[in-house]
Amino acid sequence: MKFDRERFFNGFRDGFGELDQPHIDAINKILASAEADTDISSLRWIAYILATIKRECGDSWTPVSEQGSPGYFNRYEPGTRMGKMLGNTEAGDGFTFRGRGYPQTSGRANYQKLTDHFGVDFMTQPDLLMDPEWAWKGSTSYGMRMGLYTGKTLAQFIPEDESQQADYFNARQIINGHDHAQEIADDAVKFESILRAALVTGQTATA
């Protein structure tokens, strides 16, 4: 799929308001990644991903890192409930493997999964997820398609077959329960309309 940038950004402004150049540049990187991603087979997946990134990154459209004092990350240390869930096994893992990306990838176990899948050492270079390329490939496309965060996947809620209804509200379970689920669902509906209007002639909504 390819999207006409002028039509996309006109639709974005109508739906969400004005953008400055840094935000336009950041969104362009995301759209280019989506267009080049052969594993993303549905326009509706892109719509939901954009709505997720909008929320997770606080409208910055750039990869973010989980913030907090050193003591804040103690809640993720080995032996804690969250630390066990995240597969943290060594002292300091809570901070070392803190959330990074568009959706924020957290925990030793998830960084290891990305390392194993991509053959790139996220274990010693966790800040790679702050690079837009890896924030897309790892934390977003792979993470949301493969159930990295909660075991829930895009395909479970947003069928590739467009004759079947997309459940944008419950798709929030891919990342974080129902946190801001309605807001993200409403934004996904807007993005779906924007993307359809911007779809380049001759392209189809599914790959």
Let me know: does 205 contact 40? Beta carbons within 8 Å.
no
Single-letter code of the amino acid located at 108: R
Look at residues 168, 163, 160 and name the one whose alpha carbon lies nearest to residue 191.
168
Which long-range contacts link 117-120 to residues 24+ away (Cβ below 8 Å)? 117/142, 118/142
* Phi-psi sector, 134: left (phi>0), alpha (psi -120 to 50), beta: alpha
Name residue 100's beta-bridge partners.
65, 105
pLDDT value at residue 191? 98
Does the model's pTM come out above 0.85? yes
pLDDT value at residue 172? 97
pLDDT value at residue 84? 96
Asked whether residue 206 carries a pLDDT value surpassing 60, the answer given is no
Let me know: does 176 contact 104? Beta carbons within 8 Å.
no
pLDDT value at residue 205? 53
Helix (H, G, I), strand (E, B) or coil at 63: coil
- Listing DSSP states for 90-148 in one string gives STTHHHHT--EETTEE-SHHHHHHHHHHHS--TTT-GGGGGSHHHIIIIIIIIHHHHTT
Residue with the larger pLDDT of the pair 203 and 26: 26
Over residues 162-166, the mean pLDDT reads: 94
- If pLDDT is split at 50, 70 and 90, which confidence band does 204 have? low
Asked whether residue 155 carries a pLDDT value surpassing 80, the answer given is yes
The helix or strand, by DSSP H or E, that contains position 205, with its residue range, turns out to be none
Let me know: does 107 contact 85? Beta carbons within 8 Å.
yes
Over residues 84-96, the mean pLDDT reads: 95
Domain ranges of the chain: 5-63+132-198, 65-130
Asked whether residue 50 carries a pLDDT value surpassing 70, the answer given is yes
pLDDT value at residue 197? 97
pLDDT value at residue 15? 95
